[in-house]
Amino acid sequence: VNVLRRRCLQGLLGSACLPWQAVRAGAPVVLRLSHVVAQHTPKGLALQRFAQELAAISAGKMQVQIYANSQLLSDDDEMQALQLGAVDMLAPSLSKFGRLGFPEFELFDLPFLFQDAAQVHRVMQGRVGQALLAGLQRQRLVGLGYLDNGFKHMSANRALLEPQDFVGQRLRVQSSRVIAHQMRALGAQPVVLDFGQTRRALAMGVVDGTENPISNFWTQRMHEAQTDVSLTSHGYLGYCIVVHQRFWQYLSPLQRAWVEQALQGALAWGNVQAQQRNTEDLQALRASGHCRLHTIHAAQRQRLRQALEPVYQGLAQRIGPQWLVQLEKERA
Ligand code: LMR
């Protein structure tokens, strides 16, 4: 599958002549959008909704072609494809922007920082969130908004509730230095893997466990490859919608307004869906009887939080302490 996808990418990049520039006069503008999760996830659903809204608002003059579930591009390939114009829009998790040269995005990965989605939204809408979007122009990207998935939980073939439970575990992580540091601070070994490879890596025992919101865990059938889910809610997973400036400037002011309007509606709707999907998928996981579900007690949470203090210091050293100071002001 990987070879096939790589050939596909090479094919796309080989013809990366910005296909939207070559459209016939009067033909609809087709916006190509790639992502790595299943259709029936918060992100999958919100982006389908965006496609519907954009088609409706533009009376069919703009259409969205969605490539879901890493079918076209993996985590590793998608940003390169956007830079080269082989796709037009992406919605990577905030955790994946650090590796691309935007380490400030990893603020959202800090463990036990946010208590609920309302706190996350205050930061996104405040100066920190807006500064992050503005900073994307350093790589000629335009940030068009944020979308929730939800809070992540730990899974493995054992409960992961106390720092000592993590020792020696090989845990799949996204390509975020904060998340890798989080796992190391608990004595685990972080293994960076593309999302699309994670389920197989769990099933083959290449890694022992991972962290996910339940919607991603359930829709990738990771429950068939893990015996225990610890409901730690230790970190947040959300997304940033990005396009390349070249594509954005190619659109007319009216087309840009349509995209913004459609996104605004779809992202607000998506955030409501995200809560619902994670709740319903947790019920389905519970009912499936596949995994033991563990709740975390306040004292366990406190011990994990304490062991993770160096992660905060590490990020503050890398991006400067002022980011965390500002975030603290806005979160409250
Ligand atoms: C992950 O890699 O775990 C997530 O970023 C996947 C996603 O897009 O939700």
Exposure string for 303-329, b = 16+ CB within 10 A, e = fewer:
ebeebbeebbebbbeebeeebbebbee
Q: Does residue 273 have its Cβ closer than 6 Å to ligand 1? A: no
Q: How far does the centroid of ligand 1 lie from the alpha carbon of residue 175, in Å?
A: 10
- Residue among 255, 268, 311, 53 at smallest CA distance from 148: 268
* Cβ neighbours, 10 Å, residue 272: 12
Tens of pLDDT, residue by residue over 177-235, are 999 999 999 999 999 999 999 999 999 999 999 999 999 999 999 999 999 999 999 99
- The ranges of the chain with pLDDT < 70 are 1-24
The reported pLDDT for the residue numbered 23 is 57
The letter for the amino acid at 319 is I
Predicted-assembly ipTM surpassing the 0.95 threshold: yes
> How far, in Å, CA of 115 to CA of 108, rounded?
12
Mutate-to-test residue for ligand 1 from 33, 34, 36, highest number of ligand atoms within 8 A of CB: 36
Q: Does residue 195 have its Cβ closer than 6 Å to ligand 1? A: yes
Q: Please state the atom number of ligand 1 nearest to the C-alpha of residue 93.
A: 5
Q: Does residue 149 have its Cβ closer than 6 Å to ligand 1? A: yes
Q: Please state the atom number of ligand 1 nearest to the C-alpha of residue 95.
A: 5
Nearest protein CA to atom 5 of ligand 1, as residue:
93
For the chain, the straight-line distance linking the first and the last C-alpha, in angstroms and rounded, comes to: 46
The letter for the amino acid at 225 is A
Q: Does residue 216 have its Cβ closer than 6 Å to ligand 1? A: yes
pTM recorded for the entire structure: 0.94
The reported pLDDT for the residue numbered 127 is 97
Q: Please state the atom number of ligand 1 nearest to the C-alpha of residue 35.
A: 8
Q: Please state the atom number of ligand 1 nearest to the C-alpha of residue 91.
A: 8
Q: Does residue 278 have its Cβ closer than 6 Å to ligand 1? A: no
